[in-house]
Amino acid sequence: MSGSRSIIGTIVKNFIQSFKPRQLKGNFAGKDYFGNKYYEIPADPQRGRRKPSRWFEPLDKEEYCQELPAEWEAWLRGRRDFAPTEEELQKNLELMRMKKQNALLIAQEQAAATDKLDKTETLSRPTVPFPKYGEYENYPGEKT
């Protein structure tokens, strides 16, 4: 009998909680340098939501292939608990630009180095024909 009371009590409690207002709009979490906006509805264990709901609104809603910064993507997928700060985003953006610039300089240096090599000067290796061994057959049943 006491088990039925707890079931009825749970049903009544859940029925009453269903009338309480829920958060349908997300809290603004931030914006990235592409112009995407990020939102979150925090976790509410009392309502059965154990993980926060996170999403983003792209700048161009028609484009399906969006580029996201790594920090925001980690936040969206739940790999990090807190949204990235502006300082962190700026620092990583400067680091990304520096790496692109260094890669461009290295590519230019390599292109200049290959241009300096004389095209006529090649590594000369004597051409050696493929070895032929007497104990092996070239064709089945035929020895050379």
User: Are the CB atoms for 27 and 83 separated by under 8 Å?
Assistant: no
User: Are the CB atoms for 89 and 71 separated by under 8 Å?
Assistant: yes
Which pLDDT tens digit goes with each residue over 30-80?
A: 999 888 999 998 887 776 677 888 999 998 888 778 888 999 999 999 999
The maximal CA–CA distance of the chain, rounded, in angstroms, is 98
pLDDT value of residue 144: 59
Which pLDDT tens digit goes with each residue over 99-127?
A: 999 999 999 998 888 777 655 455 666 78
